Structure 1
Amino acid sequence: MEKAKQKIIDYRMFWRWHFYAGLVCIPFIIILSITGPIYLFKPQIEAAIDAKYDHLAFSGAPQPAEAMVKAAITAVPGSRFKAIEVRLDVHDAARVIVVKGDDKIRLYVHPISLKILKQVPEEARFMEVIKTIHGELFAGRFGQVIVELAVCWAIIMILTGLYLWWPRDIKGIAGLLYPRLDMGKRVFWRDIHAVVGIYVSALALFLLLTGLPWTYVWGNAFKSVRALASPVPVTQAWSQGRADEKKMLKAEGTVSTDLSRLDALLDTARALNLPAPVTLSAPAKGATLWKLASDTGNRPQRVTMMIDPTMLEVISREDFADKKPLDRAVGYGIAAHEGQLFGPLNQALGVLTALGLMALCVSAVVMWWQRRPADRLGAPQRLPDEKLAPGLALIIIVLGIFLPVLGISLIVVGLLEWLVLRRIPTVRDWLGLKP
């Protein structure tokens, strides 16, 4: 009897957690589910946007690359040369990246006239805007933490949803693996929520977990653990938002670059035929070697080389296989998260997962609207003598440690409920905190 009572208590507790997790997550999950699928098609979208700057019609040999870079620097007074994209077709406009202060600016230079066809800050490019919304909500560090908080509670929402879905008294698979369409609107929406949830839960958890390295709190904690695990400094192949990127640019300072060998370097880079897009970056302050890097979205195919501009020799090369196991694992996860690991199927799975998450959000709102009480929020109310089971308490502690933002939010919410919300009768009753 006691065991049956505890099962009921556990179920209602999971249900309440699921309800409140959805309350926190739904607006942000919708934003992520819109921006995420757009970013999956970054290569195709950027190629379409830049198509008018490719295969330009002209006769004769292009101007030297040095002249193109100088034209770009002149167009942005006070800037310095950062990098140039390696284009296989010399009839494409040169993509020159310069730095002014802590901002990167991309300029499209005509190969013959040296006219600036387009000038755009890197962070203002369409896909960068989508990325910023997806990761920061255009709110900087604060937005990053909010997105991380939403991701953490989305993980809770999915885990509690799986617990609520789990079959107990099985009477068939209707409502579990496919929706019942002939039992009224309430059952229909409940089944849509449950069935879609079970099919997308694994993929959604994968996307949420592989997005954590970009977050601010979890990402920086992971960076510290990663540094402790490596005896020598290792360059991280991802960043924690625009603020980190700007800090790195500012730290570089002003660097004077010898451009006399740029055409020869570009010819060497083209001959290597690395996966596009490929950038050739100027030497770092105090160095002489140029950096050639493939920035393909399929990270396991990325290559980084250091080239001597005098001898045109590759001095060092780092392939994906040369990275630490932990970095390779993150690289695979990020490539899959961005839809670039295994081609169109990867993109299709990402889109289907996003559509599934949106269906969950819509069905959750519809179910709440259909069942909402007139005088309360509609959260499952606490039962008398409700206590947290030891196993559930352990799971919460582990999740709170693994996801620090979640742990902090649980402490804040717990203190707020105990010190304030339960002591105001109208608020307590409206939130369903009264047993």
Structure 2
Amino acid sequence: MKNKKLNQWLWKWHFIAGLISLPFVVLLAITGGIYLFKDNYEAPKQEHIKVVKVEGKAISYQKQWELAKTALHKAPNAMIIPKKDNQATEFITGRFNHKNSAFVNPYKAEVPGNISPKDSNMYTVRKLHGELLLGKFGTKIIELIASWLFVLIITGVYVFWPSKKEGLKGFFTIRFKQGKRILFRDLHTVLGFWMSVLLLMTLAGGMPWTDIFGANFKWLQNVTNTGFPKTWSARGIKSEVKGDAISLDDMVKLAKSMNLKGEVSIGLPSTPKGVYSIYNTTFDLGAQKRFHFDQYSGKQLVNHNWEDVGVLMRGRMWFMAFHQGQFGTWNWVLMLGVAILLAFIAIAGLVSYLKRKPEGKWGTPKVPAQFKVGYAIVAIIVILGIVFPLFGISVLLITIFEFLRERKKFNS
């Protein structure tokens, strides 16, 4: 049996937090759904740069590298091996939002163009989704809303949980013939309940991008040694300068002989002591591998499999890939469904509220005056406040405000 007073208290805070976060939740759902179409949107716009006509003999990768150096402001740090003959060779400098790629036509020995993530309208959608176009301040707002969403989902599941009298049918019942308020209330609660696990997984995949939680998670990875191995990205590995460097063509030939899964890249040495790296990017995460080679002798210095990656990093990468729908068509369709349904259940909750809201009042659920939160609930809030610091700070501010309000009411 549910504790009725606790149920009312949880419903009150579910209601308040939901009402405040609702516009942000709808925005996150819409922008997240749009961003899933990033590749479909960008492909035709970038085709004139990425796709080339096969004519004559292709120049060597070594010469393509030299062409790319002149087309980029910085020397490229990686090259993606083309999978098809009509595919331009991509040379990359920088990472993430600072990434810039020069595409080389190996048949005409020219660079048809450069592409950066910032060149696309989808970059604006991503920035709106992740930081409301407000920079670091916006990122923290999104982190605060995402933190409260965990609480909204947990409290929503408790408040919705059917009574013993309703039984199993309570998990599925949507009353279509008892008015719009009841209909939208049931759509909000029933669909929200059945989506709760998916929503928690989606949130878990987005949290590593946040400022405070993300930084704390990285710190935890470092102190527990559960992130990437230190040499995963060739950090600290050096070539012995001796003779002439191996050509990029030889490294490409070696990479192709490995039959690695997914997109295969060559990490390029940027200094005389730098190393060549061969690695693949695939969302069959277990198939990811990394190899580092002396750029002069070709000797393999270090190699890593996915099993060498720490458990927290593996979990983080899995949830981030899931969040972006990158595990194949099923994952993409699932995330699109989550985005659409999240927006729908948020709006359904708002419609239900507006239908029951008394005129001139907020209609906040009442909590019995004698109700006191138990130690278990306090412990859960404290733990959530530690895991999600912005949530913890917001709860502290709310508590102080409530205390001062009650004290003022008592004194008056």
Range into which the TM-score falls when normalised by the shorter chain: 0.7 to 0.9
* Distance verdict in 2 for CA 1:233–1:364, change over 3 Å: closer
Who is 1:83 aligned against? 78
Are 1:98 and 2:83 counterparts?
no
Mean CA deviation greater in 7-16 or 158-167: 7-16
The residue number in structure 1 matching 2:18 is 22
Residue type of the alignment partner of 2:346:
C
TM-aligned CA deviation for residue 13 of structure 1: 1.1
Alignment of 1:36-185 (within 5 A): 36-40=32-36, 50-53=46-49, 56-76=52-72, 78-99=73-94, 103-125=98-120, 128-171=123-166, 176-185=171-180
Distance (Å, rounded) in 2 between the aligned partners of 1:185 and 1:11: 24
Q: Which amino acid aligns with 2:32?
A: G
The residue aligned with 2:323 is 337
* Preserved contact between residue 298 and residue 340 of structure 1 (Cα < 8 Å): no
SS at structure 2 position matched to 1:81: coil
- Measured in 2, the distance between the counterparts of 1:51 and 1:32 equals 29
What is the Cα deviation at residue 264 of structure 1?
A: 2.2
Distance 1:330 1:27 in 2: 27
% identical aligned pairs:
28
| More displaced 10-residue stretch of structure 1: 399-408 or 187-196 | 399-408
Equivalent residues in 2 for 1:233-248, closer than 5 Å: 234-235=229-230
* Mapped contact 1:175–1:194 kept (Cα < 8 A): no
Which of 363, 378, 393 is the equivalent residue of 2:348? 363
| Residue number in structure 2 paired with 1:243 | none
Deviation at residue 51 of structure 1 after TM alignment: 4.2
Which of the residues 197, 207, 220 maps onto 2:215?
220
Q: Structure 1 pair 172/291, CA: closer, same or farther in 2 (3 Å)?
A: same
Structure 1 moving runs of 4+ over 6 Å: none
Matched-pair contact (CA < 8 Å) for 2:246–2:295 = no
Q: Any idea what SS the aligned residue of 1:152 has?
A: helix
User: Aligned pair count?
Assistant: 400
Q: 1:112 to 1:35 in 2, by over 3 A?
A: same
Question: In the aligned structure 1, how far is the partner of 2:340 from the partner of 2:8?
Answer: 28
Name the residue aligned to 1:391: 376
Contact 1:268 1:312 in 2 (8 A): no
Distance 1:114-1:424 versus aligned 2 partners, 3 A rule:
farther
The letter of the residue matching 2:215 is N
**Bigger mean CA offset, 396-405 vs 386-395:** 386-395
- Could you say what secondary structure the match of 2:100 adopts? strand
Query: Letter of the aligned partner of 1:189 in structure 2?
Result: F
Structure 1 residues 312-323: aligned runs within 5 Å? 312-323=298-309
Moved more, 178-187 or 131-140: 131-140
Against the structure 1 CA distance between its residues 81 and 44, is the aligned structure 2 distance closer, same or farther, given a 3 Å change threshold? same
- In 2, the alpha carbon distance for the partners of 1:373 and 1:235 equals 60
Which of 391, 399, 404 is the matching residue for 1:406?
A: 391
Q: Secondary structure at the match of 1:331?
A: helix
**Which consecutive unaligned segments of at least 5 residues does structure 1 have?**
239-247, 249-257, 426-435
1:178–1:191 CA contact under 8 A, matched in 2: yes
TM-score (norm 1): 0.81
1:201 equivalent in alignment to 2:196: yes
> Offset of 1:212 from its aligned partner?
2.2
Q: Which residue of 2 aligns with 1:294?
A: 280
Instruction: Give, in angstroms, the shift of residue 336 of structure 1.
Output: 2.4
Q: Which TM-score applies when normalising by structure 2?
A: 0.85
- Matched residue SS, 1:84: strand
In the alignment, structure 1 residue 272 sits paired with structure 2 residue 268: no
After superposition, give the CA deviation of every residue in 1:106-162 in whole Å (9 maximum; x if it has no partner). Answer: 122222333332223234345555443333333332222221111111111111111
Aligned counterparts of 1:51 and 1:138: Cα–Cα separation in 2: 28
The residue aligned with 2:241 is: none
Q: In 1, are the aligned partners of 2:227 and 2:309 still within 8 Å (CA)? A: no
**SS of residue matched to 2:99:** strand
Closer, same or farther: CA 45–296 of 1 in aligned 2, 3 Å: farther
